[in-house]
Amino acid sequence: MLKGKRIILGVTGGIAAYKIPLLVRELKKLEADVQCIMTPASCDFVSPLTLATLSQNPVYIDFWNKKDGTWTNHVELGMWADVMVIAPLTANTLAKMTHGNCDNLLLATYLSAKCPVLIAPAMDLDMYAHPTTTQNLEQLAQHGVLITPAQHGFLASGLEGQGRMMEPNDLVREISFFFEQSISLYGKKVLVTAGPTYERIDPVRFIGNHSSGKMGFAIAKSLLKRGAEVILVTGPTQCQLTHNKLTRCDVVSAEEMLQQVKEHFPTCTGGIFSAAVSDYRPAEMHSVKMKKTADELTLQLVKNPDILQWAGDHKKHGQFLVGFALETNDALDYGRGKLEKKKLDCIVVNSLKDSGAGFGVDTNKITILDSNNKKQAYELSSKDVAAHNIVEYIVKNKL
């Protein structure tokens, strides 16, 4: 998995740096190409000569070489790498990364790197538990940085707790796992629809549903983790997600959602349609607030466009299409019917009969049916795990 992979290994000034030679050795054994960038402080913990010898590459510390006046091109280093790993990552460099400081070569390379970045924080337990550190890690995660959390155990301070850098062998496994996962959708662009749609009655009222958007956002997150670019077309939701490979298109009604899908789906490798689109909308939208004069009120509704059906009808060769079917009864039969009618590659069926599945909750219980007549049922799980299973199914079955 790591053979020929180009890894920039950023080393910062924490005691766990003494383990980095072992990490370099393991990566080299697996035939990865490793270039180390060290912060000046890290040179007090591990010698550049050791890392240069083990990596069989020069070690970069400064922006320019004082001996011959040559400049180290951080942009080129960032472009060269398939992944940048920063281990150990101190609280100081973490904070600088969060705020975009770039007062050393490692930070400048991080800021200009186009490749995914994986970090292995290591610090004393109180520093790790500090709310600032937690916030900084959350912020980096939102920027798409992959985090291997610090481990529990004996710390250099003599204390015991969470703060140890992940052991080199485990880090190698994480890096391999990253390549296994991220390569799968690298260079692909996927459209996801999420959330409810609101169909306006008048300026203050609408017809809507209880969809929270959580499932669609979890799917977007899972796709981003695997290196895909995501176009997330979402109805009104409280969900938040930011990532440098995410384009979020907020819409309100089904017609607005269809417009966005028409614009983006043709440029995508595929689409996962999890939005709970209102089937009908008021025939007329009143421009002023309706008055409650009459005792009875009849609203005339007209059918909304079926957005997924549009995508199925316009799907090009090689594009994959995944739909959802939320049913109250005969879920599998209805699901298969929709799979065929909407020309899908697979459909994710969930039943409101299953407790813990459906709208608003954080869990889901899904069954995937595909166009090759295969069926895979999953246990009740968090929506994040369900999203992972859906994305993994797409990747494994090369949809």
Segment contacting ligand C5P by CB under 6 A, of 24-32, 45-53, 203-211, 321-329: 321-329
Question: φ and ψ at 95, to 5 degrees?
Answer: -65, -40
Q: Are 213 and 228 in contact (CB under 8 A)?
A: no
| Residue 217 Cα distances to 154, 195, 327, 337, angstroms | 38, 9, 21, 26
Does 148 bind ligand C5P (CB under 6 A)? Our answer is: no
Does 308 bind ligand C5P (CB under 6 A)? Our answer is: yes
Does 324 bind ligand C5P (CB under 6 A)? Our answer is: yes
Coil, strand or helix: which one is 349?
strand
329 is catalytic: no
Task: Please tell me the count of residues contacting ligand C5P according to CB under 6 A.
Answer: 14
Does 307 bind ligand C5P (CB under 6 A)? Our answer is: yes
Q: Are 233 and 197 in contact (CB under 8 A)?
A: no
Site string for ligand C5P, 190-219 (x = CB under 6 A): ---x--------------------------
Figure out which of the listed residues 323, 351, 358, 366 binds ligand C5P, where binding follows CB under 6 A: 323
The answer to whether the bond into 88 is cis (omega within 30° of 0) is yes
Q: Are 353 and 328 in contact (CB under 8 A)?
A: yes
Does 27 bind ligand C5P (CB under 6 A)? Our answer is: no
Site string for ligand C5P, 231-250 (x = CB under 6 A): --------------------
| Least distance in angstroms from the C-beta of 24 to ligand C5P | 47
Which DSSP string corresponds to 207-219?
A: E-----SHHHHHH
Does 229 bind ligand C5P (CB under 6 A)? Our answer is: no
> Cα(284)–Cα(302) distance, rounded to whole angstroms?
9
Figure out which of the listed residues 277, 349, 357, 369 binds ligand C5P, where binding follows CB under 6 A: 277
Site string for ligand C5P, 101-130 (x = CB under 6 A): ------------------------------
Does 254 bind ligand C5P (CB under 6 A)? Our answer is: yes
User: Which listed residue (209, 372, 373, 389) is catalytic?
Assistant: 209
> CB-wise, 35 or 234, nearer to ligand C5P?
234
Figure out which of the listed residues 98, 184, 304, 350 binds ligand C5P, where binding follows CB under 6 A: 304
The CA-to-CA distance between both ends of the chain, in Å, stands at 23
CB-based contacts of 273: which residues, under 8 Å, 6+ apart?
192, 193, 307, 308, 311, 321, 322, 323, 324
> Cα(84)–Cα(78) distance, rounded to whole angstroms?
8
| Least distance in angstroms from the C-beta of 279 to ligand C5P | 6
Buried b (16+ CB within 10 A) or exposed e, 143-154: ebbbbbebeeee
Residues at the interface with ligand C5P (CB under 6 A): 193, 254, 273-275, 277, 304, 306-308, 323-325, 338
Active site residues: 209
